[in-house]
Every structure is written in structure tokens, then in C-alpha cells.
Structure 1
Amino acid sequence: MSDIIPLAYWQALIAVVDHNGYAQAAEALGKSQSAVSYAIQRLEDQLGLRLFRLQGRRAVPTHSGQILLQRARVLVEHAQGLDSAGRQLAAGREPLLRVAIDAICPDWLLLAALVQFSKDCQATRVEIQETVLSGTDEALLRREADLVITSRIPQGFSGEPMMQVRFVAVAAPDHPLHALGRPLQWADLRQHRQLVVRDSGTRRESSGWLDAEQRWTFSEPITSIRAACAGLGFAWYAEQRIRDELKDGRLRVLPLQEGRHRYAMLYRVFAQPDFIGPACQELANALDEQIRAAGLGPSSP
């Protein structure tokens, strides 16, 4: 059985290519030039291949060198990830974090928090469950989530207010409701199709104004939003959830004469508040930081 090639040899190969020479690679790796040259020589000897050829004063990878370079990058990246995972597990971070988040929470806010979280918790697998109404409650009651972002707190749990959510009634710019050109009454809405999102739980609860003669129900919030942009009906959405659609004009707020805004509070709930894992706490902190940065705290307008 042939000897396993040390990872340092592959790192030397990558460094010589990326830094255009042995001297530059040695500086980047914090090693002597002779050490880098020795690593490349040993690598070539063990493989029985020429990995570099001279082009002027530059060391240019051969065809074989180019092929192995790509594999070397993957190998070194995986090794670095393994090292990071080991360090994180040694630090006590949990290997799996399950999150249930109410669909009214802005998806861009969640993604920004996950970007921040991923920088320090690369070894933690994250499962995101987007829930609606009683589906969020059930994720807690069935112990299917470690961290829950919800608009209501089930009995037996405690939660911390995170942000206030404002709902607005909207429709596409060319929807007939906008063509009326006046403040709208509730009777005006009743004559048009309302788009709603189905409760993801087993109780199939309803929420909000549901007095329209026609309703189309969707299981995914994003599909409902796209349907509204296509002019298929009006809907109530969390304002921050559709900020891009409002900004670029795909949706417009309906000019209701009264009751044009509804509000809800989003709470952070830990399934086991006495045993909060480090990764769970770090994601919760990342969400808090992103909410503050966006000016969307509990008392924000």
C-alpha cells in the first residue's frame, strides 16, 4: 500500500499556483522557500508526475498539475471544514438545530441572520420549517423545533417579543380595486377574490379578514404573493415580507378608508429554555441583531 500524501503537499501545490511562484507561496504559507520546493518535489516523486514546468521565471502547472489542482482544492476545503467542525463540536455546539418560523417573518431577515450565524457555526446542520398559524404551535408541542419564531405563544411556554409586524392589504397595480380611484369600503373587497395561506397545522385555523365571496388558498406564502403580483386577487401580507414587491411596484397598498393596517407581534420561544444550546442561542442573537439593524424592534412603528 502506497504512502498517503500529506495534506501540506497539496497546500503547497495550491499556493504555488495561486501566488505565481515558490517564493510567493512560501510567504503566503509562512514557510521557507526550500520547504515549499521540497513539498512539490516529494509530491511529484510520490505521484510519478511532473506538476510544473518553467515558463520564463514562472512555475506553470502542467496538464496533470491542473487536473490535480482542482481535486487538491476540494481536498483542502474539506479538511478545513473537518477541522472547523471538530473545533465547534469541542466547543459544545449542537450538531443539529431545528427552527420553526412563522411565515409572516420577513424571509430576507431570516436569511441575513443565517449568513451571520453560518460564519461561526458551520458544523451545525440547520433545518428550517416555515409554518403558518397552528403549525407553529404544533412544532413546539411536538418538540419538532428547538427555536420557534411565532406570532403567539402556546400555553406552557414563555417567549420574548422580537418585532412588531404590520399587515397591509395589497393588490397588483392593474387590479380593479385600484381602478376605483377612491378610498375603499369593506363592501368593495367582498366583491373580489381574496388570496390566503393555509394553516400548516392540523387544526386548519383561519386568521384575518375572510369575508370575500371568493377565496383562493395556497399552502406556500411565496406562491400566494406571486399570485397577487399576477393580478389574481388581493391579500393581506406582512409589509416587510413584501417590501421588494412594494418597492418595485408589483404590488400596491389598497387605499382602505378604515382598518388599513393590522398588527401582530413576533416572539422568540425556546423549546427548552433551561437547556438552550450554544448554536440555538447564537441564531437567536443573530436574529435580534438583524432586527435591530433594520429598525424593526418590538416598539418600532
Structure 2
Amino acid sequence: MARSTLEQWRMFKAVAEHGGFHQAAEAVFKSQSSIHHAVHKLEDVLGVQLFQVEGRKTHLSAAGQQLLRRINFLLAEAERMEQVALNLQAGVESTLSIAVDDAFPRDILYQTLSAVSHEYPLIRIDLMETVLSGANELLAQGKVEIAVSPFTLADNLSEDICQVEFIAVAGSEHPLNQLGRELTLEDLKSCRQIVLRDSGKARDKEHGWLGSEQRWTVSHVGTSIELLLKQLGFAWLPHHAVKPYLDKGQLKALVLPRGNCRSSTFYLNFNDADTLGPVARTFLGHLRYLTQD
């Protein structure tokens, strides 16, 4: 039988994260004496010193540092259990929040959302369109329940959902498509490249070949296509997004010695299946089905 309580561990974590008992009391809206009591009771039960006080500063002891790494997992599991209970109590969730990378095929996404709405007509969909690391960042922040991303999760399992082909393209009248020969790196470097901005704040990275001396960075695939149609640059874009313009002759694939096409794996990411409500699970089921081919 455990002799410590989750509340004691929460108080321990608060002191460790906020750097002192006074700061922890303000952060968790409890009296400083109650936090002192909880931590000292925990130390008595465990028989180890968790903190060292030097002047006005409170530092974790070696034992405290080791226990903090373990307790983070325990408290996260407790929060998940509470969320599972809330889902069971509430039944069907009223809102489904998802983050989907801008390069993911729109037709598959819209078919999935349509199927979910058909089964749950009153559901509110909160769709956040992201680029690169943005979807996973929103998932980590707890702002969405599901993320469709070109990146795996660092600390959880990711499900391979589909492959998206990217192709190097430019407007049909762009100088690169007027040379009548296979292009060289020097040809590309001398022209403006349109690249997508990472919508995640933590990574803030661009992706792919970035060798052009001129570069415009935009936030959406649609903006990239508009710029290409105006002959203002070239880009690697999802084949499914540019296919209508290729078929009409408005855009043309660049003729490169290699690398004109590349494939990117997209992943279905969520933190814990047990915390997902029935609407979220329905979304997952339809998305998996539509990406099987």
C-alpha cells in the first residue's frame, strides 16, 4: 500500500518547477504552510531529503532530481485517468479539435470530416491548418486531440497513415520551363524559390532543398501555387495540390537530373487512445479507411 499521496507529489513537483515554496504556493493557489507540510510529510515517509535550501533559494537534492523524472510520468498517467473518467461521464464530446498539415490531401480530409458529421450532426469541428512541426506542437500543448503531421512524436508512438509525393514545379511561362533542357543546380540557384514556413514556434524550420539565392517564405500551399501561377518562382509542392494546374498546362514539372520528386510520410498522432471520445475515435477510423489505398 502506497504511503504517499498524489497530492503530496503534486506539491513536490510544484516546488521543483517554480523554484521555491513561496513561488509554488502562488502558482497552485495554496498556502505556503500547506505545501511545506505536504513536502515534509513526503520526506518523512520516504526517508530521503528532496530539497536543499541555500539562503533564499531552494534546490532539488540528488534524490529529488531522480524522483522528479519518475513522478512526471506518474502524474501524467493520473491526469489521463481523470480525462478517461470525464469522457465516460460526458459521453459524446461536443467539439473535435484537430491539427492537419497543409500538405495532407484535402479530399481525404474533407471526406473524413463529412463522414464524422454525418454520424454526429451536432459536433463542432475545430480544424487548425499547420505546416511542418505545427500540428505536433499543438498536440503537445493540448490544443488539439489529434494531429496529422509529417513528423513522428518524440515521446509517443506515431501511426504511418499515408505517403505524399512532392514535385518540383513552376509556371508554364517561367524561365526555368523555357530553357528546353535538363536544369542544373546553377539554374535553380539563380531563380526565386517559394518555400513553406514552419507554423510551429519551437522548431521554426524550413524543409527541403533551400539552395536558391532568392527565397520567398509563405504560410500556405495555396499561396505558393498562386505565386507560381504568376511566374514568380518555383517550388516543391504536393502532387495532389498541383495536379489540376499541371493538367491544364498552367504549371509544369521541372526537368531535373534527380530530386524532382520526393515522398514524405504522414503520421496520425495522438497522446492516449483511452482519453479520446467517440467522435475522435470515429475520425481516426474513417481517416484510416480512406488512406488504405
TM-score bracket for this pair, using the shorter chain length: 0.5 to 0.7
1:170-203 deviation digits (Å, cap 9, x = unpaired) = 0011111011111112221111000111111113
Distance (whole Å) between structure 2 residues aligned to residue 165 and residue 197 of structure 1:
16
**Compared CA separation, residues 277 and 243, structure 1 to 2 (3 A):** farther
2:10 maps to none
SS of the residue 2:275 aligns to: coil
Cα pair 1:143 1:271 within 8 Å, conserved: no
Which residue of structure 1 aligns with residue 270 of structure 2? 270
Q: Which amino acid aligns with 1:101?
A: V
d(CA) in 2 for partners of 1:250, 1:215: 22
Task: Report the alpha carbon displacement of residue 122 of structure 1 after superposing the two structures with TM.
Answer: 1.2
In the alignment, which residue of structure 2 is the partner of 1:110? 109
1:1-301 aligned at under 5 Å gives the runs 92-202=91-201, 203-292=203-292, 295=293
After TM superposition, the score normalised by the length of structure 1 is 0.65
Cα distance in 2 for residues equivalent to 1:116 and 1:246: 30
Stretch deviating more after TM superposition (269-278 or 102-111): 269-278
Shift of 1:288: 2.1
Aligned-pair identity (%): 36
TM-score, with length taken from structure 2: 0.66
What is the identity, as a one-letter code, of the residue corresponding to 1:287? L
User: For the residues of structure 2 that align with 1:279 and 1:243, how far apart are their CA atoms?
Assistant: 32
Q: Which runs of 5+ in 1 are unaligned?
A: 1-88, 296-301
Structure 1 position 274, deviation (Å): 2.5
> How far, CA to CA, are the matches of 2:138 and 2:90 in structure 1?
28
Larger radius of gyration: 1
Render the CA deviation track for 1:64-95: whole Å, top value 9, x for unaligned: xxxxxxxxxxxxxxxxxxxxxxxxx9993211
After superposition, give the CA deviation of every residue in 1:92-119 in whole Å (9 maximum; x if it has no partner): 3211111001111022221122122211
Look up the SS of the partner of 1:195 in the other structure: strand
Deviation, structure 1 residue 271 = 2.9
Per the TM alignment, residue 211 of structure 1 is displaced from its structure 2 partner at its CA by 0.7
How many angstroms does 1:126 deviate by? 0.7
In 1, distance between residues paired with 2:239 and 2:92?
35
Distance in 1 separating the partners of 2:158 and 2:204:
23
Q: C-alpha offsets along residues 43-78 of structure 1, whole Å, 9 cap, x if unaligned?
A: xxxxxxxxxxxxxxxxxxxxxxxxxxxxxxxxxxxx
For the residue of structure 1 that corresponds to 2:215, the secondary structure is strand
Deviation digits for residues 14-40 of structure 1 (CA, Å, limit 9, x no counterpart): xxxxxxxxxxxxxxxxxxxxxxxxxxx
- How many residue pairs are counted as aligned between the two chains? 205
* Post-superposition offset of 1:261: 1.4
**Whole-Å Cα distance in 2 between the matches of residues 217 and 164 of structure 1?**
24
Structure 1 runs of 4+ with >4 Å offset: none
